[in-house]
Amino acid sequence: MLQGGSHPLIDRHRADALALLEARGLPTRKVERYKYTDVGAMLEPDFGLNLSRLPLRFDPRSLYRCKVPGLGSTLHYVAGDMVEAPLEEDLLFVGPMTEFARRRPDMFSAYYNKVEGDSLAALNTMLVQDGLVIWVGKGHRAADLIQVVNLAVGSVPMMANRRQLIIMEEGAEASILSCNHSSTAQPHLATEVVEAFLGEGSRLQYYNVEDAAESASLLSTANFIQQGTSHLEYAAVTLSGGISRRTVNVSLEGEGADVAMSGLVVADGIQHVDNNLLVTHRAPGCHSDMLYKYVLDGSSTEAFAGKVLVCQGAQQTDSQQTNANLCVSPQAHMYTQPMLEIYADDVKCNHGSTVGQLDDAALFYMAQRGVGPEEGRLLLQQAFAWDVVLRIGLQPLRQRLMRMVEERFRHGTSACGDCGMCGVRKI
C-alpha cells in the first residue's frame, strides 16, 4: 500500500529505515536530546494513516486563502501528507516528491535521505509516501515567497508523515514560509523531516509558523547542510498548538558559511514546546547566531537546548547563542540548556540563558503614567517578543507576525481574520 502511492526511489530507503528503527528503538527520556519530551506517549494513540491516498472532500484553497499583505507569494498546500500539483519554471520546481523523482531521478537520488538522522527520522522515512520538493537552480532568484500550508485533516485521529527536500544550487536565492494549521479538531500527529542543501554562495530564508489546535502534535527534524559563503536565515514562531518537538541540525561545511537562527514561543494552558538545536562548525571562518525566546503562561512546560560544536580546523569561528524566557504564571516550567563544545583555539563563542518574571518596577512605572496592570503586562510581553520578530528579514512578514503575536497576547488566539481557519480552535 505504501508503494502504491509512492515512487521506487522513495521506496528503496524503507528497508534500511526499518532496520535502523528496530536497532535503535524510539527515543526515550533517557536519550539526552529527548529528555524533556515523551515521544512514546505522543505515538501511543491509535492514529489512522491515509495509505490509500484518499482524496480530500474539500478544496483547501477555499478554506485557507491568506497571503501576506505587500508580499508576492505562491501558495502550495500539503493536506495531511498529500501534496498538490507542481509549479515548474526553467530553474524552479515546487511540488510533489514523486513527480520530481520521475522528472529528475538522478538529482533526486543525489539528495534524498542523504543526512543520517535519528530513529524518528527513520520512522518518517519508513512510512512517507510523498513529500514536497523545492529546487532552485544555479544562480536563480525565486522572486516570490514560497508559502507552504500544512493542513491537518481527517474526521478521525490521523497521523501524517510529511517530507520536505530543498535543493539550493550555487548562487540560488529563495524565501520559504512553512505554516502548520488545523482544519480538524480531531487529535492529529505529524512527523516531519526537512532536508535542505545550500550550495556555494546560496541564500535561503526559511520560516516556520505553528498556529494549530490544542489537539495537534508535531515531531519535526530539520537538517540544513551549508557550503561555503552560503547564508541561512531560519526562524520558528509557535503561537498555538498542543505538543511540539523540533530538532534542528545545521552543518556549516564550507568556509565563510553563515546562519542566523531565531525562535519565539508563546505558550499557555498545558501546551508543550521543545526546541533542540545543534550547529556544527566544520570549516573555518563561519558565523552562527542563535536567539530563542519563550513566553510561558498557564501550566505550560517548555524546553530549549542549543549546542554549538566547533570541530578541529574550524578556526576563526564566531558564534553567539542566547535563550531568554519569561514566566508569566508561577505554574509554568522552563528547562533551558545552552552548550558549547569547542575543539579549535582561535574562536569567539558566547552563550547565555535567563529565566525570569515580569518586572514589577516596570509595571509600577507604567501604572504611575496611567497604564493599568493588565495593559502593562501585555506591553511588557510584546516588548519581550519583538526582539525575535524584528530579526525576520522580510518586512511584510515581520509586520504580519507582529500583528498575530499581539492578537495572541490580547485575545488568546493569533487568528488574523483573513480565512476560514480561525474558528477551528473553538470547536
How far is Cα 142 from Cα 154, in angstroms, rounded to an integer? Answer: 33
| Residues sharing a CB contact under 8 Å with residue 270, sequence separation 6 or more, in sequence order | 298, 299, 300, 301
- Averaged confidence pLDDT in the chain: 91
Q: What is this structure's pTM?
A: 0.93
pLDDT, residue 427, reads 27
pLDDT, residue 59, reads 73
From the DSSP assignment, how many helices (H) and strands (E) are in the chain? 10, 20
| pLDDT classification of 426: cutoffs 50, 70, 90 | very low
Whether pLDDT at 423 is above 50 = no
pLDDT, residue 244, reads 96
| Residues sharing a CB contact under 8 Å with residue 286, sequence separation 6 or more, in sequence order | 252, 255, 256, 257, 258, 314, 317, 318
- Region for 274 from its dihedrals, namely left if φ exceeds 0, alpha if ψ lies in -120 to 50, beta otherwise: beta
How far is Cα 200 from Cα 213, in angstroms, rounded to an integer? Answer: 39
Q: For residue 96, how many other CB atoms are within 10 A of its CB?
A: 20
Percent of the chain with pLDDT over 70: 94
How far is Cα 427 from Cα 425, in angstroms, rounded to an integer? Answer: 6
Secondary structure (DSSP) of 2-34? TGGGS-HHHHTTHHHHHHHHHHH-S--TTSGGG
Flag the least confident range among 37-46, 297-306, 338-347, 355-364: 355-364
Percent of the chain with pLDDT over 90: 75
The tens digit of pLDDT for each residue in 388-407 reads 999 999 999 999 999 999 99
How far is Cα 220 from Cα 246, in angstroms, rounded to an integer? Answer: 5
Strand partners, 293: 264, 324
| pLDDT classification of 424: cutoffs 50, 70, 90 | very low
Mean local confidence (pLDDT), 345-372: 84
CA 272 to chain centre: 15
Whether pLDDT at 3 is above 70 = yes
| Residues sharing a CB contact under 8 Å with residue 258, sequence separation 6 or more, in sequence order | 229, 230, 231, 232, 252, 286, 287, 288
| C-alpha cell, 161 | 508523515
Whether pLDDT at 422 is above 50 = no
Dihedral angle at the C-alpha atoms of 260, 261, 264, 269, nearest 10 degrees? Answer: 180
